[in-house]
Amino acid sequence: MQRAYEYGVLLKPKILLAMLALYVASFLGSYAYRGGGSLELSPFLLGFAAVMAAVSGANALNCYVDRDIDALMARTWGRPLVLGTIGPWEALTFSAVLLAAASGISLYLGPIPFLLFAGGAGFYLLVYTVLLKRRTSLNVLATAPSVAAPAWFGWYMGGSPLYPVGLMMGLLVAIWGPLHLWSLAYAYSKDYLRVGVPMLPAVLHPKRAVHGILAALALLISSSYLLVPWTRSPVYALGVSLINAPLMAAGLRFYRTGSNRAGWWLFKLTAPHIVIVLFAFTLDQMLFA
């Protein structure tokens, strides 16, 4: 039982649940957008399995690659590879099996699902984790296709064409990603400096870092209304406005104090934001089909 728990930690369950929620919201939104009809479980479940395996495998492989710096950071020192409860070879094999499963399922589903899987996993593992994370302060921008991929995957599996609404939903997720990661990096800036990872908020002067994060927050809030032209009622715009309000309050507090704790709260509040935005669009489509 303890062994299973350790492998579960390796998958970064909070990230996994968030990506699966994006997939579910996008799938249901796509289903409702195309007019509903009979809901076939097979495409949904196969797509769900592909996303779960892809995100799990990518997270496990990220833990393998970053095990040296994880040992030196307060936020990550308790991960299984650092504690030695799971060995490097075991983690590598585990991640390879999951990624192979995701690849096989995606390929079975068709060329577009496979390209979405390959692009999402490739950007996260190769471009971000291996090539850019330790080399440039703009590293997190490379995660944009990775965080958007589950939303695109879900929209496609729901039966609607990716253009224009599906692409727009993925774009919103891609805009959300840097703000979420930068607010976390601000809260743990000393950790990132200690291990030599040049996250933007860690290498900038604190005031400039605050201004940069607030600019990303303003972009996220304003872009959350981009789906309004494809809504069928005021439900989406009203719902988005309600969930943007606490983000704006957290941003104001962050601007006033510039504290690590304020950055942490901004990180925590952004975590569910994009999922709620996508579900608000789905609700609008379902209620007023």
For residue 15, the domain's CATH number is: 1.10.357.140
**Model pLDDT, residue 243:** 94
Q: What is the pLDDT of residue 4?
A: 86
Q: Is the peptide bond before 229 cis (omega within 30 degrees of 0)?
A: no
Which pLDDT value is given to residue 233?
92
Residue 117: per-residue pLDDT: 97
At residue 2, the pLDDT reads 74
> How many structural domains does the chain have?
1
Q: Can you tell me the distance from the alpha carbon of 228 to that of 224, in angstroms, rounded to the nearest whole number? A: 9
Query: Which pLDDT score, from 0 to 100, does residue 37 have?
Result: 73
Q: Consecutive 10-residue runs of the chain (289 residues): their mean pLDDT?
A: 86 96 97 83 96 98 96 92 94 97 98 97 96 95 96 96 95 96 95 94 94 97 96 94 96 96 95 95 89
- DSSP code, position 86: S
Residue 224: give the domain boundaries: 2-287
**DSSP secondary structure of 206-275:** HHHHHHHHHHHHHHHHHHTTTTGGG-SSTHHHHHHHHHHHHHHHHHHHHHHH--HHHHHHHHHHHHHHHH
Question: For position 136, what pLDDT does the model report?
Answer: 95
Question: Residue 242: its pLDDT value, please?
Answer: 95
